[in-house]
Structure 1
């Protein structure tokens, strides 16, 4: 029994720590890039079309759901950039600070939850826009605003990709923070 505890109490080799640090930095950079791209796409999504001589506009700012999506991703991108800065400063391959990994775990869990909420809201509204809901009286708008709907779809797909990277970071930091000594 003592030999099992001795194996787990040792620090991992420096090569393993470097690999974990590299995975962490790459995943965080990919999360930043995908949330930034989703934010840019949603902020620039607009289209005008003329139906029966009347001009109609479709913009993200006309929907509170898409506004929430845009600002949630902007916040997640900004805080992930700030966190990347702290990772570069405080995470060195020789150090093993379980408390710092616990705070990174909490940060990534909050950012993942925020991005997930934005994804879920935008997916629900996008589904209604593409496939309509006749029971609620909501018409299909993607027939008239195809370019707008395609941009929203691209932003939501990038958002789900960002969610995968944030989930990977959350799992990574959850496993690294289990080494906290009280």
Structure 2
């Protein structure tokens, strides 16, 4: 039959398109998270004193922003790798390379999300035992943008977890 496509080739094409789609979504989410955090600044009057808040005042927020920048850059790299490895050859060793890549970016995003979540929690609720007061009462727009950036980064993290699972599943066909 001239018009039919064999099931393995059709399955491979769906897998390839899904990889591209998920990588583009992860790129967009990590880019948006990094941009929101890097441009997040606010100045407010607190108890009669002019005080400013910026992501750069917290090493955890800086790590979060840089982790998302790295994830964004490596998402572009992985798009090229997926196009090279994924479309031309059905080689399980190529999927293992993608698995390692996806796993490393997943771990990086997880660490960045954890750091931003921890600092965000302290900023919102404070720690009475340590004498740290909540700051989000005085900087609501700043805290809201931090929350949105962290949420977008979690989306990127979940997409990379999905990509890691998919790549692991495809790479398990390697024969020693």
With normalisation by structure 2, the TM-score equals 0.94
User: C-alpha distance in 2, partners of 1:122/1:75?
Assistant: 16
Q: Moved runs in structure 1, 4+ residues, more than 4 A?
A: none
Shift of 1:87: 1.5
User: Paired residue for 1:160?
Assistant: 154
Shift of 1:86: 1.8
User: Paired residue for 1:103?
Assistant: 97
1:131/1:58 CA distance change after superposition, 3 Å: same
User: Paired residue for 2:116?
Assistant: 122
Matches within 5 A, 1:67-146: 67-92=62-87, 95-146=89-140
With normalisation by structure 1, the TM-score equals 0.91
User: Paired residue for 1:170?
Assistant: 164
The answer to whether structure 1 residue 25 and structure 2 residue 20 are counterparts is yes
User: Paired residue for 1:60?
Assistant: 55
- Secondary structure of 2:172's partner? helix
Shift of 1:95: 2.1
Shift of 1:89: 2.4
Q: How many residues align?
A: 171
Shift of 1:12: 6.1
User: C-alpha distance in 2, partners of 1:51/1:117?
Assistant: 32
* Superposition CA RMSD, Å: 1.3
The answer to whether structure 1 residue 148 and structure 2 residue 142 are counterparts is yes
User: C-alpha distance in 2, partners of 1:112/1:52?
Assistant: 42
Gaps of 5+ in 1: 1-10
User: C-alpha distance in 2, partners of 1:52/1:135?
Assistant: 22
1:137/1:52 CA distance change after superposition, 3 Å: closer
